[in-house]
Each structure stands twice: as structure tokens, then as C-alpha cells.
Amino acid sequence: MTNDETNPDFAEIGRKLFAQPCEFIWATAKIGELPPMGPAEIAFAGRSNVGKSSLLNALTGRKALARISHTPGRTQQLNFFALGPDPNAPLLRLVDMPGYGYAAVSKEKVAGWTKLMQDFLRGRASLARVFVLIDGRHGVKDIDGDMLKRLDQAALSYQVVLTKRDEVKKGLIEKTVADVQAILRGHPAAHPDVIFLSSHEGEGLADLRATVARLLFERDRTIFAPTQIG
């Protein structure tokens, strides 16, 4: 890793960042019971069963950091994970949000999750970016578009991450990304870059890690001091 602030190696910084210890620290279904704000946070949103848990596990190199289930709606609360040597003072927090859209629960519970997410997105100053996971096989569906509009209304920076790259024909990958980028041009809070990855094969994970490293660098350059990430 280079310490040259004019030309940081974000790929290497990202690799070292996500090689740090990571552990579950907090879960809540109530906005009034969130952990105190502190380090920067990045959240992962997506429709039910899009692969958020698989991505969190792959991103951090763990097999069971986040629970994987084939039952839509399994993540029923905001789950917080601390990344760094000290879970009480982590370098970064990862937030796994409840899946939106279809879930095998009552409409009342889905409505409750929706309000929880909206309140969280609008009132969390430490939230640096939301990564919106969208199934790369199907592109932006109406339910995804609704989520993007909510994020625009919250004036919160977000970036689309397409999943299941390994299940998309190679000849369609560039077109899939271009189609999503065209849609995002109509969303003011969206980051223009789209990441297409496969949690199963590992493709694109380095790009996401580097993106997070760049994001943290832009917020606080001291986080990458040798004493923080070795």
C-alpha cells in the first residue's frame, strides 16, 4: 500500500481494509434503538433475496458473518457489523438493511420495515453511502426504482451494485451496465459508476472494496494511517 496521498492504491487499501476483523455488534427493528453514531457507515439495501448476506460474507472473507437464507424477508431488522481491530472503535460499520419488496411475512410487518429504513436513511449523519443491490439478470425493476426514488428524496448518496454476474452471459455484461447507467442519469443522488459482481465467483469484489476505500479516504484521510491499517 502506498501512503502517497496524491495517488493512493485504493485496490490494495480496500483489500487490507476488508481483511480486518469483522463482527456483528448490533441489531434493531426500532429507530430509537440504533447504536450511537461514530465511525462512517455504509449500508446495503436490496429487494428480498437479492444476495445481500452472500455479498457481506464474500466482501469480508467470512463464511457466516451474515446469515444466508433462501426465504425472502429473513433479514427483519437493521444489522450492524464492526470492521476493524477494535469493535468498539471500528474503522467502518457495515449495515445490512431489511430486504424490500416481496417477503414471506405480513403486509403490516413489511410496512414497519419500510418506515424503519426511511427513518434510518433520513436521520443518520454517519451514513456515508448506501449500496443498492440489484439482480443483474433482471435489471432495475419497479420495486428497485421505488427505492432509488426514496434515496433521492432523502438526498443520500447511493451506488448500484449488480449481483449474480456469474449468471449473466459475458456478451451481455456491458449492455446490462450501460442500461442501468442510463436509468441512473435520471436520479440526482445516484453515483454514476455501477459495479457488477459475483459473490459466488468473486468477480467485482475488489472493485467494491476499492470504492469503499476511496469513499473513506475522501471523508477522513487519517483512517489509512499505518497504525490503522497495516
Mean pLDDT of 203-227: 87
What's the mean pLDDT in 108-128? 83
Residue predicted with more confidence, 100 or 36: 36
Domain annotation covers residue 121 = yes
Asked, for residue 98, whether it belongs to a domain, the answer is: yes
In a domain, 15, yes or no: no
Q: Is residue 100 part of a domain?
A: yes
pTM: 0.90
pLDDT at 142: 94
How far, in Å, are 41, 97, 101, 123, 172 from residue 155 at the CA level? 16, 18, 22, 11, 32
Model pLDDT, residue 106: 64
Its domain, for residue 82, covers: 20-224
Distances (CA, A) of 80 to 122, 174, 176: 17, 33, 31
Question: What is the structure's pLDDT at 228?
Answer: 60
Output the average pLDDT for the chain: 88
Is residue 95 a part of any domain in this protein?
Answer: yes
Task: Quote the number of domains for the chain.
Answer: 1
Higher-scoring residue by pLDDT: 177, 100: 177
**The predicted structure's pLDDT at residue 48:** 83
pLDDT digits (tens, 9 = 90+) for 56-98: 999 999 887 876 444 444 457 899 999 999 999 999 999 999 8
Residue-level pLDDT at 72: 46
Whether residue 68 is contained in a domain is answered as yes
Those residues whose C-beta lies under 8 Å from the C-beta of residue 108, and which sit 6 or more positions away, are none
Q: Is 229 within the bounds of a domain?
A: no
* pLDDT, tens only, 122-176: 889 999 999 999 999 999 999 999 999 999 999 999 999 999 999 999 999 999 9
Q: Is residue 11 part of a domain?
A: no
CATH of the domain at 97: 3.40.50.300
